[in-house]
Structure 1
């Protein structure tokens, strides 16, 4: 959609240089500029976007949007470049969320699983071709699947993907909304028809600085949302959210929850429970294991019911849903050897504890855990990861996660510092660490490979390398042969 000069000025809220008649697109990446685009110079964490203004102009940009004048360039000076990027993206793509029902899922842990359950329910009730998903693991547009780069992409990709979904006949979209997505204005201006909060535990404090600021970013989604809003009553931050924002209903096993979980029991290969809600009681059977997945399913089912999905359709969709990529994902090939291998995205101490507790419940022998911690992130959680692994696994192998620019050995040392030395070893090569765990596994054991889940790239100081935990497990099992060696 072409924005003429008056609409540009209205959208940005500032004067636009007289020589600029219109823009036909917008980007923050100078390499993606096309003739007639607006280039938004974002002050980055490492480099200021104005350094790329000349490149953008050389590629045909007609307008530079920045927080300070760019000499020799037609510049619209704005107080907040990220906010300007979001506003321009929404207008250039025709404000797609105003014609869609977008449901936002936020929280520290459980966002992806909850999003998958909700998407499965909506797709089952309304037709797969009419439902879209934007998640950490993948994006689904009218049944077409493709990998995602990050949980909540930049505003141009958010609005562009929503516009693509709209053109494809999608009417309902489930979107994971990260705290980065809110704080960095990636979803600003998106209209949300519903929202769900899973929980809040220590994470991303390198960006937010404090748990209060982290919570404030999550809460912002609920202040924007016009439709049903649900929060986890078993989480203190969820209860606080319900008390601070009008119209937030609760789910969980606590007394007084609006969508109350009752009668949880483990079924063959899954979990059964009842969900008591204002209109009745719904019996649910899910293939997902663990108390935290009961909450993920309950929240998604509750939000679907609150939006008007018929209860029978909810139950059918939950019963028939498949594995969630990288979330307690069972590697089938391991079953032939009598032990289980679980791949999971758990990358916080709370997430790792939850996964290991479920693994302990499934195991008939030992639990072996391969894990690590990311670099260039909040380092305080590293020893906590080691402590949790020692408490809930019989053997822990500390390895390299996404080290980014940090020394993998330094990170591993900080993780191992919180672990029991008698139950812990360090193997920095991730493939070798996984192989060591598989060689140690015996019938009845459960091997948990934690930290990267669905991801297919490992970010290391010397460069990115392809790495997908589930695929590596399958390759190693094949290499080991039928005798397991």
Structure 2
């Protein structure tokens, strides 16, 4: 079996990037790295940036991290049999190839060890602050409808899919070794087209460097990840790099100011949205049963689309995917049929259900994302018997702290009842984070319940006929990162467990 193939990588996102029996010889190493290789290093048979994953004959790339420098782990890598160390400085008593950028070297080696799989596939990158996952799911549904599910892959925050087989993902854009291993594994399984989330971290930290992108979609840009980028301008420029790499169709959201700027700065970018002048114009948006209908107009052609999604932002996501597919030559009727039957996206306005009320799980973790979700929740609450919107949310630690009070302000304005709880606090004090969120509350209608399970339980206990409970922040994620360690936590599962405690027959009835 292909080592580091889709099955192995997607199951645990192992950072290995190697093929059985495959080795990179000395001259190829010199070419890939662009520097001299120490005498005595003839070949290497694998690459990793994690010293715990080193095997005899591997190259260990000492990547400078945010908290620890990879050079610290060189002794462990050598004990495990590393044949070569790649680092940004000399390391005593180690066979080191000194490179100007360890992350760039990691990406180059990962591509080389896997034979540059994206050169034999079509990889479509989707970037933006919000909507990447949903847009990827919509695009994957259309590609699968047009070319066959077994020939299409998906790489998102929520999960990785290859030929219909689904596995959970660890993060939006894994390290370069994991990305290349996953693509190589997909290619081995016959996958020819991949819809892939591309985060700003993935671009800035060179995790996607070396991928040949066959097309790109830009969803929107709002305040996020400024702890990494510093300014919105740098955040935007990082996203824009994907469009400078892409060789095929490029689509940008004309309803977003940054999207309009992107279309004006990068040659060949076409636009979608409700804005006048958009190349793919959204018209006639209206609710339809368990979803939304709209018309996507291209010149004189009008394509009627129905999606099992709520909210104008999801219409934009579906339109972006549809526009890219149409640019690729997929027939309109195929696009419409695929979007109508697309699956629910894990953790993206995911309807978990409730006895007489709706329970929604969403990944919204910024003020802009939270506002969008709560506005849609309000629409849902009005569709039947008018009900309240109850929101459980928090803010992550070790991230841009300026957005915390903004999230509190949004929730206090748009939810009838709000409960501030713990998200992924990482090393920060959860109570401190919650107080900073609460600082933005305008009318005192929000309370703090730090225990996330208890906060969800309280919201569900207060919900009545026609209400909509929104549990925001973690979406599909299955681990909560806390100062005292990581713990298993999946919002949708916790909700189902609490609802079953209230009504033990509910789960058995649902299963029948």
TM-score by length of 1: 0.98
Specify the SS of the correspondent of 1:219: helix
Change (3 A) 1:483 1:61: closer
The residue number in structure 1 matching 2:248 is: 227
* Alignment map for 1:45-444 (pairs within 5 Å): 45-278=66-299, 280-332=301-353, 334=354, 337-363=355-381, 364-444=386-466
Query: How many residue pairs are counted as aligned between the two chains?
Result: 481
Deviations, residues 309-352 of structure 1 (Å, cap 9, x unaligned): 111110100001121000000013x1xx2100000000000000
1:421 is displaced (CA, Å) by: 4.4
> How far apart, in 1, do the equivalents of 2:300 and 2:155 lie?
30
CA–CA separation in structure 2 for the residues paired with 1:93 and 1:287: 38
Give 1:34 shift: 1.2
Taking the aligned partners of 2:268 and 2:84, their CA distance within structure 1 comes to 42
TM superposition shift of 1:457: 0.6
User: Residues of 2 paired with 1:428 and 1:294: CA distance?
Assistant: 34
Distance in 2 (alpha carbons) for counterparts of 1:358 and 1:457? 27
TM-aligned CA deviation for residue 422 of structure 1: 2.9
Aligned residue in 1 for 2:58: 37
Query: Could you say which residue in structure 2 is the equivalent of 1:469?
Result: 491
Q: Deviations over 1:444-470 (max 9, x none)?
A: 000000000000110000001111001
Give the alignment's Cα RMSD to 1 decimal. Answer: 1.1
Secondary structure of 1:422's aligned partner: coil
Structure-2 change in CA distance of 1:362 and 1:89 (3 Å): same
Distance 1:401 1:340 in 2: 22
Q: 1:482 and 1:267 mapped to 2: Cα distance?
A: 33
- Cα displacement (A) at 1:278: 4.4
Q: Which residue of 2 aligns with 1:17?
A: 38
Q: How far off is 1:64 after superposition?
A: 0.3
Matched with 2:6 is none
CA distance in 2, matches of 1:483, 1:61: 56
Shift of 1:124: 1.2
Gaps of 5+ in 2: 1-21, 507-512
